[in-house]
Structure 1
Amino acid sequence: MSFLGLEGLHAFVTGARGGIGLAIVDELLAAGCRVTAHDLKEPKPEDHNLVLPVQGDISDEASISACMKQAVQRNGPIHILCANAGITNEASHPSIWDLPLETWESVYRVNTRGTFLTIKHFLLATKAQQERTGTELENVAIVVTGSECGKFGQAGHAEYASGKAGLQYGLVPTVKNEIVKLNSKARINAVAPGWVNTELIGDRLDDPRELYMETQGTVALKKIAQPTDVAKAVAFLASHRASGHMSGQCLSVDGGMEGRITWREEEILGKKPNVQQLATRPSIPQQVSNPKPKNSIKIALSVDFDAVSGWLGTGAHPDNGTADYSAGYFSGLVGVPRLLKLFTKLGLATKTTWCIPGHSLETFPAQTQAIVASGCEIALHGYAHESASQMTAQQERDVLLKCISLVEDLTGKRPRGYRAPLYQMSERTIALLQEHDFLWDSSLTHYDSTPYYLPLNPAPVTPIDFSPAKKAETWMHPSPQFDKLPKSTLVEIPCNWYEEDATPMQFYPHTANSAGYVDVRLMERMWKDRIEWLRSEMEEEGEGGEMKCFAIVLHPDTSGMAHVIGMIERFLKWLLVLAGEGVVEFVRCEELAGEFRSRVASI
């Protein structure tokens, strides 16, 4: 269990499509929660890959009640409510004597009435669940997001300061005393953000995280909060394990800079806002993106769905039997669902590349449909996991064309990537991929952490014939200089045995180099060491450094095992923390290859 201890809990987040709301959803997903994301805006198609998106109006009692019921039906009882939805008026900042009644009432309707109804129906859902089971629901927590202007006030925001912001100092303590009648361990707390990095400030500054304030005739450089700062405070308060017996409290996320709340930012900056521009632009950004350094480490998370095919091609052996093939069926029946569930929970389903043999596509149609529905990239991996050396040139061509056709029929588009089964490709394979206009391959390792172009016409390395009839002079010559060969447009995403799970953690009875009994923590430490070293290289090289990547290769029959998948989850969560810091970035292989092409073209 993690420090927060939120794994498996169901969280209901309102205002989930706004800047802070998106950050809260991401934070709770990373903590292992099942998340229902509620918003007035219609969800995007990709939202379904990560959370249960529900659309409704929190100020309409029938709507919020129906959304709560829908969430319970899909994700089970709701443990955590993040009452985050709210509006403010950024088009103008009238003094209170000039404030239109319509503005006051619209803000009140959403921020006060809507928050009250959200909390009411969350508690009704909790009450109904406890009456059904006869026991108290565990880890019941409410977190309300408000504003620091509820504490210090803000000129031109009377409607907001007395609305949602005031809830944290009035409704929260009241609910604190009421909620224990329903659930003895339930808690309610609030988060009060100060100024948060939004488009309103970012459009006026070179660095949207910096704000210049005039203080006693001097200009002081100040930092303002990010949506992720607020989200981390929400996750902390949502956790009984982390925040203990706290209830009725309001945590300020303002960096101790209360003075910013007393004045509007244009008064501090000495600039007049463009009211027309503000009026036509949403006050909350549609999505939050952490600024990442140009040379952040690209994490190409991939899965080789070998399943039964792994025992038919490169894994063929006369002694293979029912028990061996059974491990292949485990891959599809158990391993795939477990990995898909994990990727969805962590918000990585759409950032993953699945390399699938044609045999697995046809043997496991339901699992394959679930993989495609997750929004991932689909790449080729042979048909029956054959190596190039097992086939004639015509057989290899037939296999490639068959698998292209299978993926086109399944997804409606042509696959752009390839990984050779057991990494066993040849110069002939490279030429075949170029002929069919593939974008990337991930089978070779001329470099271990840097993408590169494969040669246009690769020359084979000739093995030495040491037979007595041969003179030494026949083999004493250099191999082709790889970096001097003409380049193709086929991007190689380097991959090797140290980046995968199967060889060390999967036992193959008839494969000499398989282990199967390596402690998962050894692999976790090895992969972390790799990232840490790449991180140090990246920091040393600075902005002009080479593109860094780590192609993680998982197999459902290995990483899907009960004693392995927990380590995979810990490692991915560790990477997600680094992603929040801008050190790494999860990308699909096609995105990585496309960015590499763009970078090289710009040099």
Structure 2
Amino acid sequence: MDLDLKDVHVLVTGANGGIGLETTRLFLKHGARVTANYRSSNAALTQLISETDHEHLRMVQADLSHEAQVRALFSHSGDTGWGEVEIAVINHAVSLRTHVPLKDMPIEQWERTFSNNLTSSFLVAREYLRGLERGVRAAVPEASLGSKPETSGARAFGERAALVFVGSTAGKYGEAMHADYAASKSAMMYGLTLSLKNEIVQVAPRARVNCVAPGWVRTPMTSEVLQDPQAIYRSLATVPLKKVAEASDVANQIVLLASTKVSGHVTGQVLMVEGGMEGRLLYMPADFGLDA
């Protein structure tokens, strides 16, 4: 299916693994030009370059919790000759593997989580909107002169603009012992998404903001946890589809929401990609004195 993504400039943050890597791969498959951000390792992206058209993929290292590095990321993206970023996928996040109840949580952990997950998303979204505004303004003189695109497939900058956040079931249902992560994701999924869908149209009239919120996904980061049968049971006990998602399950929804051709009248939505999950399993049979 043609999603009308050919040659559109896409930024994917946290692109080196799991959902980000699969999202990058899928955008490339549809002909997009992708700036792939990573914070530390770019090993998986390097492998992807060997598998695909490397002329459509650029890797940029940046710690997105630092304002200067976010600005540099967008500056570097503009140096590719692809123009400003028209579609942004804000996918990066951190979550501590250790369980820490809120009553024992150091303020440093809380602030670090919000800096890495929420403040960094604000910084990326802000620079994206600024670049989008520059791109739209630069296209106005050409449009006012009545010039026509060189090819029938060309699109005026901003017509395909979309911002897609990647949230989490933790942002909807909470996550005991990880309240910092859950709170940061909830703010992104609802506060940011619902605010920016009203602001972005002041920059580009047809631009959209949505969020994809996955549950458990089989990635390198979750592989160890998902080897524990009890962990799988707790994760899937309220999931009708009774399976863990693959990264492609989430990437497919991100790319579809990013496509104006198929989702052009969809904005301000939080799409849960969690197999129909109804909530958290809080107790095991033994907690009620029952045999497992």
TM-score range, shorter chain: 0.7 to 0.9
1:228 equivalent to 2:235? Answer no
Residues 1:128 and 1:268: Cα distance change in structure 2 (over 3 Å): farther
Q: Tell me what 2:290 maps to.
A: none
Q: Tell me what 1:334 maps to.
A: none
Residues 1:268 and 1:17: Cα distance change in structure 2 (over 3 Å): farther
Distance 1:9 1:154 in 2: 37
Gaps of 5+ in 2: 144-156, 287-292
1:105 equivalent to 2:106? Answer no
TM superposition shift of 1:25: 0.6
Q: Tell me what 2:90 maps to.
A: 83
SS of equivalent residue, structure 2 residue 211: strand
TM superposition shift of 1:215: 9.8
Distance 1:252 1:214 in 2: 15
TM-score (norm 1): 0.40
The aligned length equals 260
Q: Tell me if the contact between 2:16 and 2:41 (Cα under 8 Å) persists in the aligned partners.
A: no
Q: Tell me what 1:29 maps to.
A: 28
Counterpart of 1:154 in structure 2: which amino acid? E
Distance 1:253 1:223 in 2: 12
Q: Tell me what 1:157 maps to.
A: 178
1:256 pairs with one of 276, 281, 286: 276
SS of equivalent residue, structure 1 residue 155: coil
**Mapping for residues 212-361 of structure 1, pairs under 5 Å:** 212-213=233-234, 222-259=242-279, 261=280, 263=282
TM superposition shift of 1:189: 0.1
Residues 1:182 and 1:160: Cα distance change in structure 2 (over 3 Å): same
Q: Tell me what 1:96 maps to.
A: 102
1:133 equivalent to 2:105? Answer no
Of 28-37 and 41-50, more deviation after overlay is shown by: 41-50
**CA shift digits 1:149-174 (9 cap, x unpaired):** 11111111110111133211111110
Residues 1:100 and 1:31: Cα distance change in structure 2 (over 3 Å): same
Residues 1:120 and 1:269: Cα distance change in structure 2 (over 3 Å): farther
Distance 1:103 1:88 in 2: 10
Q: Tell me what 2:75 maps to.
A: 69
Q: Tell me what 2:192 maps to.
A: 171
Q: Tell me what 2:217 maps to.
A: 196
Q: Tell me if the contact between 2:217 and 2:244 (Cα under 8 Å) persists in the aligned partners.
A: yes
**CA shift digits 1:419-475 (9 cap, x unpaired):** xxxxxxxxxxxxxxxxxxxxxxxxxxxxxxxxxxxxxxxxxxxxxxxxxxxxxxxxx
Gaps of 5+ in 1: 271-603
Distance 1:269 1:195 in 2: 22
**CA shift digits 1:352-377 (9 cap, x unpaired):** xxxxxxxxxxxxxxxxxxxxxxxxxx
TM-score (norm 2): 0.81
Task: Decide which structure has the larger Cα Rg and report it.
Answer: 1
Distance 2:204 2:263 in 1: 17
Distance 2:30 2:228 in 1: 29
1:117 pairs with one of 101, 123, 139: 123
SS of equivalent residue, structure 1 residue 202: coil
SS of equivalent residue, structure 2 residue 31: coil
TM superposition shift of 1:137: 2.0
**CA shift digits 1:24-57 (9 cap, x unpaired):** 1111111211111011114345565532000011
Q: Tell me what 1:13 maps to.
A: 12
Q: Tell me if the contact between 1:176 and 1:187 (Cα under 8 Å) persists in the aligned partners.
A: yes
Q: How well do the aligned residues superpose, as a CA RMSD in angstroms?
A: 2.7
* Bigger RCO of structures 1 and 2 (CA < 8 A, at least 6 apart): 2
Percentage of pairs with the same residue = 37
Distance 2:16 2:204 in 1: 30
Counterpart of 2:84 in structure 1: which amino acid? P
Q: Tell me what 1:55 maps to.
A: 61
Q: Tell me if the contact between 2:236 and 2:243 (Cα under 8 Å) persists in the aligned partners.
A: no
Q: Tell me what 2:150 maps to.
A: none
Runs of 4+ in 1 over 6 A off after TM superposition: 267-270
**Mapping for residues 167-566 of structure 1, pairs under 5 Å:** 167-199=188-220, 202-203=223-224, 211-213=232-234, 222-259=242-279, 261=280, 263=282
Counterpart of 2:8 in structure 1: which amino acid? L
Distance 1:215 1:228 in 2: 19
